[in-house]
Amino acid sequence: MKTTYRDAARESLRAALAGDPRVIVMGEDIGRYGGTYAVTRGLLDEFGPERVRDTPLSESGFVGAGVGAAMNGLRPIVEIMTVNFSLLALDQLVNGAALMRHMSGGQLNVPLVVRMATGAGRQLAAQHSHSLEGWFAHVPGLRVIAPATIDDARWMLASALTLPDPVILFEHVGLYALEGELAEPGGPVDLARAAVRRAGRDVTLVTYGGSVPKALAAAGRLAERGVDAEVIDLRVLRPLDVATIVGSVTRTRRAVVIDEMWRTGSFAAEIAATITERAFYELDAPVARVCSAEVPIPYAKHLEDAALPSIDAIVAAAAAALEGGP
């Protein structure tokens, strides 16, 4: 079935609301307005204000309400309009939801899903263009997922709602208009496994979220040069599927990690360190990273594009890795 990433994400919410009376959706402008990115459009009319709740502009307040609702038997899906605004709810998520099972000795769980848009590329300027997925992946007690395909946008939420602990679900702003075929029938997604989106033998491109289409496009360009690139979509940042990454790099002997975070302290650094620790003697070239420029994301389109990982930069990094080996 032909659809978009946005519509697939909406259908995942609709199915969750229809299938479980404990599920509620809450967040800023998600009801009458239909969501900043139109993902929740129509759900208020279909399920009513008790199940689809507009909240005040207070991330700390409504995320805290979601944590409390989850602890008391509901299955809340809380939308934070953009990852930038999640900074206002860090105490609720990092100091509260993530630690509750540990702090209660296993007596309390927080079955909460927090959706948020992330990333740049839409000319939303510096305060609305962060990529902070690695911050959340740093925190024990949180599961962090990043659907990069239409199928994952449709089905990852259902799997997240079966878990007893909090899940942070990142949707890249550049993917909402992505069009493609939705596999029917779909089914549960393993929220502990990466996916090989393109098999290859010469170099491994490791990425997630909004950079997956760029990595696939780069692999296509490399193929024109006779280079067979493998593309790994991490899908889940915590827990990280180390076995799939190391297995690929062990075969290809070269790796390029693409990450829209800033290079210093990026999630790409964690992946590069993991590869070096687990597969150092299999490498024929140093692990390369392609990250965003270390500047506030510019508003001007040509400057924004220049600041972000590009297909050209991925191709160049892969070519350099190939030149660096035997």
3 state SS of 101: helix
Active-site residue, from 11, 28, 79, 128:
128
State the first-to-last Cα distance of the chain, in angstroms, to the nearest integer. 45
Going across the sheet that includes 52-54, the strands are 52-54, 23-27, 75-80, 113-118, 167-172, 143-145, 236-238
Residue 316 buriedness (CB in 10 A; 0-12 / 13-18 / 19+): middle
- Annotation says 128 is catalytic: yes
3 state SS of 191: coil
Residue 107 buriedness (CB in 10 A; 0-12 / 13-18 / 19+): exposed
Angle at 41 between CA 40 and CA 43, to 5 degrees: 70
CA 96 to the chain's CA centroid: 22
**In the chain, where does DSSP find H-type helix?**
5-19, 43-47, 59-71, 90, 100-103, 133-137, 150-160, 212-224, 242-252, 267-279, 301-307, 311-323
Active-site residue, from 59, 133, 171, 260:
59
Q: Which residues are catalytic?
A: 59, 128
